[in-house]
C-alpha cells in the first residue's frame, strides 16, 4: 500500500504537521509527498512540464511538479493530472491512500481511485492564496469523497463533525525536546543580541492573523519593551504592520534556529486578531512557547483560551490595556516560575507526534481492513471450492488428475 500526500506547503517550508506525520508514515508505506514548483525557466525556454522525485533519508519521496508560470485553470489542472499519471506509471502505484492537506488538490485528483481518502484539515484553508468561495467549494467536494477527516483543533473538529460522519480530533503535537533547548543558555543570535530587554517575542507568518492595532498600542504604551517578530511576511496579506522604534521584524528563521531566539525572550506573545482567519486557529504555537519555558500572553482565540487559559498556563487579555497589564505581571513574576513550569510540563506530557500518528494509522488500517473484507471473503469462497475438489480427489483416486482439471481451471 502506497500513500500519496497532497500539500500546499513545501516539504522544506518548515517542520510542521505534514512533515512530522509523513515522516512517521514512511515506516509503514511508500510515501509520495507531492508539491508544486512553478518554474519561470520552463516559460523562458519553452520547456514542457516535468516532475522530479527525490528520496529523503527518512524514505519520503518528494515529488515536485514543475509547471510553467502563468498557467491557470483547466490547462494547469490537465498538466497536473498528466504528471501524476506519469508518477503512478513510473513507480507502479496501484493500491494507495490519498492524503489531502489541502482541498485545492481535488481539482486535479478527482480522476484517481484510491483505497482510502483522508482529509487532514487545519486552519491553513483560511489562509490559502485562493479565493475563499472556490476553496470552500473544493473542500465541500473533498468532504463528500473523504473516508476519514482529521481535525487539527477543537473548534475545527466541532465545525467539521456537522458535515461528515467520521471526523476525529487529532491535534498537532509539540516537539518538546526541541523547544526545551530554549530553557538553557544558548549563544545569542547576532540580529537579536543587539536588541535591548525586556523582549516580547512572536514567531509565525506575518499576516492577517495578527492585530496591528493591538501591537501598536502595546509598543506605544511601553516604549521600554522591545517587540520581536520572527517569520515571513505573507504576500497575500493586506495588513500594514506598525513601524515603531521598539518593534523589530527579523524575518523568517529556520525551525532549527527557533530555540536560540526564544531563549532570549522574556515573554512570548500572541497578539492575534479575532477574525475569520483565527476562528479555527489551533493552539500549537502557544504550546511551543510553553515548551520553551516562556510565559505566554494571548488574545482570547477560542482554542488557546480553552486549552491553556482555563488552567492558567497562558494569560488571556482581550484589550490593549489588559494585554499590557498581563505582560507586566508575568515579567514581574518570572523569577519564581518553577511551579508554573511543572504544571506546563505535566500538561504537555500528553502531546506526542508518535501518539498522534499511532491514533491516525490505527483508524486508517481499520478502514482499509473494512474495504478488504469483501475481497477476503471472495478469496475464501474460491479457496473453499478448490478444497472441496481436492477432497473429492483424495476420496476417489480412481478419478485421476484429468477429472480434477476438468472440474477446476487451477487444479
Count Cβ atoms within 10 A of the Cβ of residue 198 and give its class: 0-12 exposed, 13-18 middle, 19 or more buried: middle
Q: Do the bridges between strand 61-68 and strand 96-100 make them parallel or antiparallel, or are there none, so unpaired?
A: unpaired
Helix (H, G, I), strand (E, B) or coil at 137: helix
pLDDT digits 0-9 by tens, 209-249: 999 999 999 999 999 999 999 998 876 565 678 999 999 99
d(CA 195, CA 209): 25
Helix (H, G, I), strand (E, B) or coil at 2: strand
Other beta carbons within 10 Å of 212: 15
Q: In the prediction, which pLDDT does 36 show? A: 77
Q: Do the bridges between strand 2-6 and strand 96-100 make them parallel or antiparallel, or are there none, so unpaired?
A: parallel
pLDDT digits 0-9 by tens, 292-316: 999 999 999 999 999 999 888 999 9
Q: In the prediction, which pLDDT does 265 show? A: 97
d(CA 71, CA 12): 24
In the structure grid, which three cell numbers stand for residue 327, read together?
A: 505582560
pLDDT digits 0-9 by tens, 139-148: 999 999 999 9
Q: Is residue 408 pLDDT above 70, yes or no?
A: no
Q: Where are the beta strands (DSSP E) in 256-384?
A: 267-270, 296-298, 314-316
| Class of the domain covering 2-169 | alpha beta
Q: Where are the beta strands (DSSP E) in 142-291?
A: 148-151, 167-169, 199-203, 226-230, 247-251, 267-270
Q: For a pLDDT cut of 70, what percent of the chain falls above it?
A: 84
Helix (H, G, I), strand (E, B) or coil at 159: helix
Give the residue from 244, 235, 233, 240 showing the smallest Cα distance to 200: 244
Domain limits of the chain? 2-169, 176-344, 354-407
Helix (H, G, I), strand (E, B) or coil at 63: strand
pLDDT digits 0-9 by tens, 384-399: 555 554 445 555 555 5
Question: Is there a contact between 7 and 57 (Cβ–Cβ < 8 Å)?
Answer: no
Count Cβ atoms within 10 A of the Cβ of residue 188 and give its class: 0-12 exposed, 13-18 middle, 19 or more buried: middle
In the structure grid, which three cell numbers stand for residue 46, read together?
A: 519553452
pLDDT digits 0-9 by tens, 329-359: 999 887 667 888 999 999 999 889 999 999 9
Q: For a pLDDT cut of 90, what percent of the chain falls above it?
A: 63
The predicted model gives 61-85 an average pLDDT of: 87
Question: Is there a contact between 50 and 86 (Cβ–Cβ < 8 Å)?
Answer: no
Helix (H, G, I), strand (E, B) or coil at 18: helix
Question: Is there a contact between 300 and 318 (Cβ–Cβ < 8 Å)?
Answer: yes
Q: Is residue 411 pLDDT above 50, yes or no?
A: no
d(CA 402, CA 327): 90
Give the residue from 122, 159, 168 showing the smallest Cα distance to 16: 122
Q: Name the band, by pLDDT with cuts 50, 70 and 90, for residue 39.
A: low
- Give ∠ CA 259-260-262 in degrees, rounded to 5: 60
Helix (H, G, I), strand (E, B) or coil at 19: helix
H/E segment holding residue 98: strand 96-100
- Give ∠ CA 319-324-326 in degrees, rounded to 5: 90
Q: Name the band, by pLDDT with cuts 50, 70 and 90, for residue 129.
A: low
Q: Do the bridges between strand 50-55 and strand 61-68 make them parallel or antiparallel, or are there none, so unpaired?
A: antiparallel
d(CA 175, CA 192): 23
Helix (H, G, I), strand (E, B) or coil at 360: helix
Of residues 97 and 387, the one with the higher pLDDT is: 97
Provide CB contacts within 8 A for 231, sequence distance 6+: 202, 203, 204, 205, 206, 251, 252, 253
Q: Is residue 406 pLDDT above 60, yes or no?
A: no
176-344 shares the fold of 2-169:
yes
Q: Name the band, by pLDDT with cuts 50, 70 and 90, for residue 180.
A: very high
d(CA 315, CA 290): 12
In the structure grid, which three cell numbers stand for residue 344, read together?
A: 506546563
- pLDDT, averaged across the chain: 87
In the structure grid, which three cell numbers stand for residue 156, read together?
A: 475545527
pLDDT digits 0-9 by tens, 371-381: 887 776 666 66
**CATH of 176-344 given 3.40.50.720, 3.40.190.10, 3.40.50.2000, 3.40.50.300:** 3.40.50.2000
Q: Do the bridges between strand 199-203 and strand 267-270 make them parallel or antiparallel, or are there none, so unpaired?
A: parallel
Amino acid at each position: 500500500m502506497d500513500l500519496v500526500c497532497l500539500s500546499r506547503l513545501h516539504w522544506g517550508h518548515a517542520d510542521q504537521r505534514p512533515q512530522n506525520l509523513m515522516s512517521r508514515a514512511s515506516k509503514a508505506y511508500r510515501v509520495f509527498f507531492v508539491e508544486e514548483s512553478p518554474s519561470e525557466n520552463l516559460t523562458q525556454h519553452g520547456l514542457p512540464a516535468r516532475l522530479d522525485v527525490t528520496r529523503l533519508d527518512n524514505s519520503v519521496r518528494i515529488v515536485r511538479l514543475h509547471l510553467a508560470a502563468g498557467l491557470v485553470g483547466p490547462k494547469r489542472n490537465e498538466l497536473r493530472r498528466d504528471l501524476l499519471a506519469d508518477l503512478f506509471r513510473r513507480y507502479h502505484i496501484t493500491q494507495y491512500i490519498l492524503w489531502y492537506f489541502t482541498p485545492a488538490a481535488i481539482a486535479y485528483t478527482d480522476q484517481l481511485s484510491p483505497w482510502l481518502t483522508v482529509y487532514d484539515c487545519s486552519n491553513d484553508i483560511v489562509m490559502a492564496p485562493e479565493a475563499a468561495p472556490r476553496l470552500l467549494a473544493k473542500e465541500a467536494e473533498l468532504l463528500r469523497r473523504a473516508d476519514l477527516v482529521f481535525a487539527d483543533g477543537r473548534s475545527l473538529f466541532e465545525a467539521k463533525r456537522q458535515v461528515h460522519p467520521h471526523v476525529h480530533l487529532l491535534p498537532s503535537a509539540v516537539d518538546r525536546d526541541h523547544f526545551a533547548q530554549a530553557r538553557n543558555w544558548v549563544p545569542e543570535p547576532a540580529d537579536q543580541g543587539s536588541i535591548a530587554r525586556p523582549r516580547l517575542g512572536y514567531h509565525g507568518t506575518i499576516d492577517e492573523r495578527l492585530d496591528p492595532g493591538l501591537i501598536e498600542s502595546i509598543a506605544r504604551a511601553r516604549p521600554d519593551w522591545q517587540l520581536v517578530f520572527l517569520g515571513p511576511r505573507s504576500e497575500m496579506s493586506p495588513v500594514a504592520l506598525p513601524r515603531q522604534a521598539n518593534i523589530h521584524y527579523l524575518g523568517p528563521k529556520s525551525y532549527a534556529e527557533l530555540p536560540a531566539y526564544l531563549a532570549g525572550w522574556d515573554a512570548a506573545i500572541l497578539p492575534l486578531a479575532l477574525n475569520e482567519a483565527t476562528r479555527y486557529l489551533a493552539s500549537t504555537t502557544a504550546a511551543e512557547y510553553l515548551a520553551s519555558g516562556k510565559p505566554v500572553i494571548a488574545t482570547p482565540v477560542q482554542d488557546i483560551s480553552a486549552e491553556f487559559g482555563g488552567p492558567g498556563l497562558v494569560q488571556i487579555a482581550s484589550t490593549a490595556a489588559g494585554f499590557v497589564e498581563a505582560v507586566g505581571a508575568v515579567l514581574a513574576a518570572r523569577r519564581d516560575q518553577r511551579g508554573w513550569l511543572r504544571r506546563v510540563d505535566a500538561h504537555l506530557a500528553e502531546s506526542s507526534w508518535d501518539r498522534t500518528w499511532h491514533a491516525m494509522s490505527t483508524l486508517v488500517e481499520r478502514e482499509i481492513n473494512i474495504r478488504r473484507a469483501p475481497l477476503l471473503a471472495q478469496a475464501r469462497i474460491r479457496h473453499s471450492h478448490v478444497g472441496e475438489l481436492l477432497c473429492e480427489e483424495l476420496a476417489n483416486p480412481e478419478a485421476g488428475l484429468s477429472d480434477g482439471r476438468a472440474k477446476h481451471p487451477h487444479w
